[in-house]
């Protein structure tokens, strides 16, 4: 018998009365249960629930008891890696134990997801994720779902994209480009970092919002050289990676996909400011934990992470990467993941995108 369940003998009660909160438990004819028995059963359940909450709170208070590992599904040196390392440093200071970044690239992030899914749900193994794992299962086979298989902890950053064009394109604004594309449908091409990448879907969203058509050319990385040379004419890269080409005058920026202007490109308007509505796209990073991590521990981690992300030290790093700190709660992050899933599913279906 489970220690959280007890059985009690029958006691007098009105015939046919079910136990409180237990539908379908009406006694057989001739057998009556009393109010006292029902109260004992309900009280036993409440005691068990209270004990579980107490255990969850106790685990949060004792945390961490050893170094905390944060998995990064990409190689060292990129934007996600750098932001995660900044977060790990602040968490090390807060926790009093070391937070370690563990880069585990491969298989579209599945190597890191596999490690996280097999880790103990005690908060000592976390992972940085992004928009990409939401899109990937819509196009390719995937064993993992962010909401089903993991515990969302906090969205930590958001960062917009910038529309860039080759200098020979006769458009000085996003609205001018729309007019040019409508006059020459399918004549220009845009590059992305792969089929189903956030950059690809940003280009598809732009076309759907403006009623224009371009040829999609997927690359395995950012092909700035081909935009500069004019082999492809349009791109939607990250701000930080495009800055050297924009500052050197080798490419022209037309609009940013963020809802407001980006400090590093303060002279570049948003799509809405350029007269193009419906093109607001933010990539983001977030922290997830193993499924069944205690709720009290997830809440504590979320608060610690939010505090770290809004620190002066990390703020400086984020500004350098043209990112903004978020630091959302677990419920807010889960709601964001659901909204992103619905949004990009619609874009993929409307554009007829299929994985390779």
Residues 249, 191 share a domain: yes
Q: Is residue 324 part of a domain?
A: yes
Residues 243, 328 share a domain: no
- As a whole number, mean pLDDT of residues 281-298 equals 98
Residues 166, 213 share a domain: yes
Residues 222, 297 share a domain: no
pTM value is 0.82
Q: Which domain holds residue 30?
A: 1-62
Number of domains the chain is built from: 3
Residue 31, pLDDT > 90, answer no
Contact 86, 55 (CB under 8 A): no
Residues 174, 89 share a domain: no
Contact 160, 261 (CB under 8 A): no
Q: Which of 27, 45, 62 is the last residue of a domain?
A: 62
Contact 306, 116 (CB under 8 A): no
Confidence at residue 22, expressed as pLDDT on a 0 to 100 scale: 39
Q: Is residue 252 part of a domain?
A: yes
Q: Which of 202, 230, 265 is the last residue of a domain?
A: 265
Q: Is residue 43 part of a domain?
A: yes
Is the four-CA dihedral 287, 290, 295, 300 of positive or negative sign? negative
- As a whole number, mean pLDDT of residues 273-293 equals 97
Which of 44-58, 141-155, 186-200 is predicted least confidently?
44-58
Q: Which of 230, 265, 300 is the last residue of a domain?
A: 265
Backbone phi, psi, residue 59, to 5°:
-65, -35
Q: Is residue 271 part of a domain?
A: no
Binning pLDDT at 50, 70 and 90, where does residue 146 land? very high
Residues 288, 150 share a domain: yes
The overall longest dimension of the chain from CA atoms, in Å, is: 92
pLDDT, averaged across the chain: 87
CA 77 to chain CA mean position, Å: 20
Residues 73, 42 share a domain: no
Residues 55, 75 share a domain: no
Residues 293, 317 share a domain: yes
Binning pLDDT at 50, 70 and 90, where does residue 222 land? confident
CATH number for 131: 3.40.190.150
Confidence at residue 355, expressed as pLDDT on a 0 to 100 scale: 86
Confidence at residue 68, expressed as pLDDT on a 0 to 100 scale: 98
As to burial, measured by CB atoms within 10 angstroms (0-12 exposed, 13-18 middle, 19+ buried), residue 117 is middle
Is the four-CA dihedral 80, 86, 90, 96 of positive or negative sign? positive
Q: Is residue 10 part of a domain?
A: yes
Q: How many residues does this entry show for the chain?
A: 356
Residues 319, 185 share a domain: no
Binning pLDDT at 50, 70 and 90, where does residue 336 land? very high
Q: Is residue 274 part of a domain?
A: no
CA 247 to chain CA mean position, Å: 30
Binning pLDDT at 50, 70 and 90, where does residue 72 land? very high
Residues 148, 81 share a domain: yes
Contact 112, 150 (CB under 8 A): no
Residues 54, 31 share a domain: yes
Q: Is residue 172 part of a domain?
A: yes
Confidence at residue 90, expressed as pLDDT on a 0 to 100 scale: 97
Give the DSSP per-residue string, 174-231. Answer: HHHHHHHHHHSTT-SEEEESSTT-HHHHHHHHHHHHHT---EEEE-SS--HHHHHHTS
State both tokens at 64.
């961490």
Strand 234-235 with 162-166, pairing: antiparallel
160 vs 62 pLDDT, higher one: 160
Q: Is residue 119 part of a domain?
A: yes
Residue 11, pLDDT > 80, answer no
- As a whole number, mean pLDDT of residues 329-333 equals 98
């Amino acid at each position: 018998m489970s220690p959280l369940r007890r059985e009690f003998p029958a006691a007098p009660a009105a015939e046919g009365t079910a136990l409180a909160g237990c539908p379908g438990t009406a006694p057989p004819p001739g057998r009556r249960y009393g109010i006292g028995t029902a109260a004992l059963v309900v009280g036993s359940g409440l005691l068990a629930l209270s004990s579980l909450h107490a255990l969850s709170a106790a685990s949060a208070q004792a945390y961490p008891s050893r170094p905390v590992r944060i998995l990064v599904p990409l190689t060292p040196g990129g934007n996600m890696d750098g932001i995660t390392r900044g977060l790990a440093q602040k968490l090390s200071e807060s926790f009093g134990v070391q937070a370690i970044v563990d880069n585990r690239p491969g298989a579209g992030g599945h190597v890191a997801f596999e490690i996280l899914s097999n880790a103990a749900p005690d908060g000592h193994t976390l992972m940085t994720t992004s928009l990409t794992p939401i899109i990937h299962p819509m196009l390719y086979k995937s064993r993992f779902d962010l909401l089903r298989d993991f515990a969302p902890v906090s969205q930590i950053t958001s960062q917009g994209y910038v529309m860039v064009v080759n200098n020979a394109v006769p458009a000085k604004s996003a609205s001018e480009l729309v007019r040019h594309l409508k006059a020459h449908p399918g004549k220009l091409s845009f590059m992305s970092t792969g089929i189903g990448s956030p950059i690809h879907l940003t280009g598809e969203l732009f076309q759907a919002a403006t009623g224009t058509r371009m040829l999609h050319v997927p690359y395995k990385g950012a092909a700035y050289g081909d935009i500069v040379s004019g082999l492809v004419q349009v791109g939607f890269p990250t701000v930080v990676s495009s800055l050297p080409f924009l500052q050197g005058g080798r490419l022209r920026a037309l609009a940013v996909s963020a809802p407001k202007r980006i400090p590093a490109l303060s002279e570049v308007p948003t799509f809405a400011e350029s007269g193009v509505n419906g093109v607001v796209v933010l990539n983001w990073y977030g922290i997830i934990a193993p499924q069944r991590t205690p709720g009290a521990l997830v809440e504590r981690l979320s608060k610690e992470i939010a505090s770290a992300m809004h620190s002066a030290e990390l703020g400086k790093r984020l500004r350098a990467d043209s990112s903004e700190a978020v630091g959302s709660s677990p419920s807010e992050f889960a709601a964001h993941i659901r909204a992103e899933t619905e949004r990009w599913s619609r874009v993929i279906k409307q554009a007829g995108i299929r994985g390779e």
